């Protein structure tokens, strides 16, 4: 158990059956009444952010999250198979559990998973991934009136906007947090 005085950004706490990460917190001492702590908490399972207020000195349970390095092996139907880099155990996760992160998963990619009490809470992709452009329309040289971009389908099936000079077969770097093109490799 930890007190609200010990809160830090990035710390994980357990409230009921849910695990939350502290996004931000603020100690408030009003002129009247007792002090309190305003927090923004991110649910590690669903990704939803909530506002919660605690009384000053209130105790909550700290959740110790273990980071495991996992390698994405392959996809079979609606299931994705991963291997623990330490124990070499294989893990199967349904597509719904991975949400929109599947569009940047490439075979043999190593990523980290947040594990609490033997259950996977969150999947953390590398910040940048390099993927091959599977299909895109050829860019027109005269189309430079505005910041020109065109749609490209990547080898994983994701569709993103890329500059006109990108062609089929090019390897591009993508920011997985925003899903946007960064550069050509």
Fold topology of 128-184: OB fold (Dihydrolipoamide Acetyltransferase, E2P) (2.40.50)
User: pLDDT grade, residue 100 (50/70/90)?
Assistant: confident
Mean confidence (pLDDT) of the chain: 82
pLDDT at 144: 57
pLDDT at 67: 84
Q: Do domains 2-62 and 128-184 have the same CATH topology?
A: no
User: What are the residue ranges of helices labelled H in the chain?
Assistant: 95-98
User: pLDDT grade, residue 139 (50/70/90)?
Assistant: low
Q: Tell whether the model's pLDDT for residue 39 goes beyond 60.
A: yes
User: pLDDT grade, residue 8 (50/70/90)?
Assistant: confident
Number of helices (H) and strands (E) in the chain: give both, helices first.
Answer: 1, 16
CATH of 2-62, picked from 3.30.70.270, 2.30.30.30, 3.90.1580.10, 1.10.10.10, is 2.30.30.30
pLDDT at 4: 83
**For residues 164 and 17, what is the distance between their CA atoms, to the nearest angstrom?**
49
Token code pair at residue 39: 């927090």
pLDDT at 146: 59
Average pLDDT in the 162-170 region? Answer: 83
CATH number of 66-124: 2.40.50.140
Which of 33-47, 98-112, 143-157 has the lowest average pLDDT? Answer: 143-157
Q: Tell whether the model's pLDDT for residue 145 goes beyond 80.
A: no
Domain map (residue ranges) of the chain: 2-62, 66-124, 128-184
Buried (b) or exposed (e) across 58-80, using 16+ Cβ within 10 A?
A: eebeebebeebebbbbeeeeeeb
Tens-place pLDDT, residues 56-76: 888 888 888 888 888 888 888
Return all residues near 176 (Cβ < 8 A) that are at least 6 apart. Answer: 101, 104, 125, 126, 127, 128, 129
């Amino acid at each position: 158990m930890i007190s609200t005085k010990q809160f830090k950004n990035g710390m994980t706490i357990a409230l009921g059956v849910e695990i939350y990460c502290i996004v931000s917190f603020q100690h408030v001492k009003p002129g009247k009444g007792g002090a309190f702590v305003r927090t923004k908490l991110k649910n590690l399972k669903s990704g939803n952010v909530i506002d919660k207020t605690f009384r000053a000195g209130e105790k909550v349970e700290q959740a110790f999250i273990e980071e495991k390095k996992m390698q994405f092996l392959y996809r079979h139907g609606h299931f994705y198979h991963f291997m623990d880099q330490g124990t070499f155990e294989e893990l199967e996760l349904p597509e719904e559990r991975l949400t929109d992160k599947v569009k940047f998963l490439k075979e043999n990619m190593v990523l980290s998973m947040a594990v609490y009490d033997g259950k996977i809470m969150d999947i953390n992709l590398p910040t940048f991934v390099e993927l091959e452009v599977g299909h895109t329309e050829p860019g027109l040289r005269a189309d430079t009136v505005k910041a020109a971009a065109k749609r490209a389908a990547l080898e994983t099936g994701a569709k993103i906007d890329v500059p006109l000079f990108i062609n089929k077969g090019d390897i591009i770097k993508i920011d997985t947090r925003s899903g946007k093109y960064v550069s050509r490799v």
